Amino acid sequence: MARIPYMMLDDRTCLVTGASRGIGRGIAIELAENGADVIVNYRSSETEARAVRDEIEAGPGRAVLAQADVSNYDEVQSMYEAVREEFGELDVLVNNAGITADKKFVNMTRDDWERVIEVNLGGVFNCTKVCYEDLRAAEEGRLINISSVVGQQGNYGQANYATTKSGMFGFTRTIALEMASDGSTANCVAPGFVETDMLADVPERVRKNILKRIPLDRFAQVDDIAGIVRFLASRDSSYMTGQVLGVNGGMEW
């Protein structure tokens, strides 16, 4: 029997949340370059999201914009209904959207806590819930949750963020068990420190201290993460489910 070309996604429809910049942008472009139809979700960065769509469509890929605040269930439902008309049923959901509101716990307010929980975990629930039946019905559906090494190690001033990112581990494992009988999978990617706008805002002295903890002696590039997501979205990952992939340059956790 002829093999499908290695990790190609020609017959896959993928929704990437928070895809207008950073890791989400890289994932959306990577999936499209490997043949997928991609839904580029964004909350407020329409200009950046359009640039991602235009870059995809400048090549052989197809993409559509989908505005929604992932923390708002009704908006997510409306987004799903709109993109389903455009591309049909989903095969792959990449839960990437997330925010930070960093403070030492002694200074953290209930609002700081709830805002991060509602986007980072509430958004994962909303998007997965709305897309769940598509993922189950798809031939080898894929749920891919983007977590963080911070969810494994904790991080000073990020009690809210670390809690959401570690919460993804239990969620992923449970959904993996519940979807397994349908032949669909759920996995979690836990990147280390990646060269994005978020890391660029970190003071240089802190960056140097972080770098000392990374055996590979460099920060990740977005492509390092996007390539792992491409693998998980493909049929080559069909026997991997319920896993947390630490893509962190060798950091202990």
Question: Which range of residues forms the domain containing residue 50?
Answer: 13-191+225-240
- Catalytic annotation on 73? no
pLDDT number for residue 8: 87
pLDDT band at 23 (very low <50, low <70, confident <90, very high): very high
Catalytic-labelled residue, pool 73, 132, 161, 239: 161
Q: What is the predicted pLDDT for the residue at 34?
A: 96
Residue 5 lies in a domain: no
Q: pLDDT band at residue 6, thresholds of 50, 70 and 90?
A: low
What are the tens digits of pLDDT across the range 43-66? 999 999 999 999 999 988 899 999
DSSP string, 126-139: HHHHHHHHHHHHST
Task: Provide the pLDDT for residue 7.
Answer: 65
Confidence of residue 200 (pLDDT cuts 50, 70, 90): confident
Contacts by 165-169, CB closer than 8 A, 24 or more apart: 165/98, 165/120, 165/190, 167/121, 168/95, 168/121, 168/124, 169/244
Residue 219 lies in a domain: no
Q: Is residue 76 part of a domain?
A: yes
pLDDT at 161: 97
pLDDT tops 70 at residue 179 = yes
> What does the mean pLDDT of the chain come to?
95
As a whole number, mean pLDDT of residues 206-234 equals 95
- How many structural domains is the chain composed of? 1
Percent pLDDT > 70 in the chain is 97
CATH number assigned to the domain comprising residue 113: 3.40.50.720
Note whether residue 198 is domain-resident: no
Q: How far apart are CA 65 and CA 107, in angstroms?
A: 38
Q: Cα separation of 138 and 185, whole Å?
A: 11
End-to-end CA distance of the chain: 42
Q: Is position 231 within any domain?
A: yes
pLDDT at residue 1, as a whole number: 44
